[in-house]
Amino acid sequence: MHDIRFTPLGAAIPGVEIQAQVIEQILTNGFLVRPDWAKGAEVVFMVVIGLALIFLIDRLGAMPSALAGSTFLIASLSISLVMFKEHRLVFDPVYPAFSIIVIFVLCSVLRHIRVESEQRWIRSAFSSYVSPNLVDELVNNPKILTLGGERRDLTFLFTDLAGFTTLIEQSKPGALIPLLNEYLNEMIAIGFRHGGTLDAIVGDATTFFFNAPVEQADHADRALACAIEMDAFADRFSKEKTAQGLPVGLTRIGVHSGPVIIGSMGGDVIFNYAAHGDAINVAARLETVNKHLGTRVCVSMETASRCNDFHGRPVGTIQLKGKAEGILAFEPLTEEEMASEHITTYLTAYDLLVIDAEAALEAFRAAADTYPDDPLIRFHVERLESGDDGTLIRMASK
């Protein structure tokens, strides 16, 4: 009679069979029961499971939290199935399962937002101790935390505040510390603006290197521009503080480029991202050379040759103590300064050093009379008068 019906289980059976099954359930008392307390039990179950899930997600990582959420979801469905098959009791698995999913997603999103906020705070705080570019590289490329290194060309910049030891002895801590903080704050900010990585702060001295951890094709140009800006600031700072009764000396800067080993050094306890190589020592000693030459910034030929548009006057070929070969060094200048009569006069006298020492001495003496405030001219006069000649300047000390 075409009396075919589909059941909730998906089977197609005659309608008369459905009626027979209903009668059988009544006779055998085998029909499903939903107790009065079922709804309350479901609510209690959702609250308990929800609080437990919130507690675990807040304290566990992503994978354990996902495992806990999946366990609670499976438990909710399993309890409903067992009660249905074994005890003929109907408990709704939909709302508990839905609540577990909602709580898991919501807590996961909130935890993710909180972790991102904490990471931003940690990055900001950590950047106060380590160069920001190193922090960013650690976040974006964690593999650099692996012990080891690579050979790479870097440019190093060393700075030192002249006469600071004397200033410490003559000043009170209450006045000295804010002064030093003001000086270092701007020097470090300048280094960071040019993409330098702060390697060390030792008292009033700073060390930066360029082209690591982030590769910079223009690392020599960056270091040179950084040195020039640091020199301009340090000169203003010295004049301002001296006028206020605090005799702050000039800042000496040395810049040199060369191959080194750069990478994460240390052990299981602590990491140190550092460079090792002769280029570091040369840059440090070029900074010291300024004290003898009377210059404030000394840049090696290795750095100058890597710069796209370098302007500077040669100070001589510096033979550092313990070195067999000399290093041609320059004092960086602006293009306008290079075209001035002052520097033209200096370069004319400098060219005579390799031709005729006597003629060079007379030329430097005449230049010293015209430009008595140029310490580099006076340096060449003094060394020529002592019997030295040529452009090779031998350093007796480090």
SS3 label, residue 342: helix
Q: What pLDDT was estimated at residue 45?
A: 84
18-25 mean pLDDT: 85
Does the pLDDT value for residue 21 go beyond 60?
A: yes
Instruction: Say if strands 312-319 and 271-276 run parallel, antiparallel, or are unpaired.
Output: unpaired
The amino acid occupying position 188 is I
Letter for the amino acid at 166?
Answer: T
Band of the pLDDT at 35, cuts 50, 70, 90? confident
Q: Which two tokens stand for residue 1?
A: 């009679």
365 — pLDDT class (breaks 50, 70, 90): very high
Q: Measure CA of the first residue to CA of the last residue in the chain; give whole Å.
A: 113
Its pTM stands at 0.71
Q: What local confidence, expressed as pLDDT, does residue 137 receive? A: 65
User: What percent of the chain stands above pLDDT 70?
Assistant: 90
Token pair 């479901």 in the structure block, residue: 42
* Confidence category of residue 122, pLDDT binned at 50, 70, 90: low
What's the confidence (pLDDT) of residue 146? 58
Check pLDDT > 90 for residue 211: yes
d(CA 196, CA 381): 37
More confident residue, 71 or 135: 71
Record the tokens describing residue 159, joined without a space.
């700075």
For 137-151, what is each residue's pLDDT tens digit? 666 666 655 556 789
Rounded CA-CA distance 102/109 in Å is 11
Residue that the structure tokens 């705080």 belong to: 125
Q: Which residues make beta-bridge pairs with 312?
A: 332
Cβ-contact 250, 212 below 8 angstroms: no
Q: Tell me the average pLDDT of the chain.
A: 87
Residue 186 one-letter amino acid: E
In degrees, rounded to 5, the angle at the alpha carbon of residue 239 between the alpha carbons of residues 235 and 244 is 145
Tokens matching residue 37: 């307390």
Give 175-188 pLDDT, tens digit per residue: 788 899 999 999 99
Report how far apart, in Å, the C-alpha atoms of 211 and of each of 39, 133, 254, 278 are: 67, 11, 17, 16
Position 41 scores a pLDDT of 83
CA angle in degrees (0–180, nearest 5) for 367-370-376: 50
Has residue 132 got a pLDDT over 80? no
Its sign, for the CA torsion 199, 200, 201, 203, is negative
Would you mind telling me the total number of residues written for the chain in this entry?
Answer: 398
State pLDDT tens for residues 288-346. 999 999 999 999 999 999 999 999 999 999 998 888 899 999 999 999 999 999 999 99
pLDDT for residue 110: 83
DSSP state at residue 321: T
DSSP string, 210-260: ESSSS--TTHHHHHHHHHHHHHHHHHHHHHHHHHTT----PEEEEEEEEEE
Q: What is the mean pLDDT of residues 366-377?
A: 96
Q: pLDDT, tens digit, for every residue of 240-276?
A: 998 988 888 999 999 999 999 988 777 666 667 789 9
pLDDT of residue 85: 77
Residue with tokens 């190589």: 277
Phi, psi (deg, nearest 5) at residue 277:
165, 165
Helix (H, G, I), strand (E, B) or coil at 328: strand
Nearest CA to 255 out of 214, 215, 204, 295 is that of 295
- Residue 367 — φ and ψ, nearest 5°? -65, -35
SS3 of 61, please?
Answer: coil
**Model confidence at 94, in pLDDT bands (50, 70, 90)?**
confident
Which residues make beta-bridge pairs with 261?
Answer: 276
The domains of the chain, with CATH numbers, are 32-126 (no CATH), 145-308 (3.30.70.1230), 335-398 (no CATH)
**Three-class SS state of 141:** coil
- For tokens 């009396």, name the residue: 3
Q: Give the contacts of 138 (CB within 8 A, at least 6 positions apart).
A: 144, 145, 213
Kindly report, residue by residue over 334-361, the tens digit of the pLDDT. Answer: 999 999 999 999 999 999 998 999 999 9
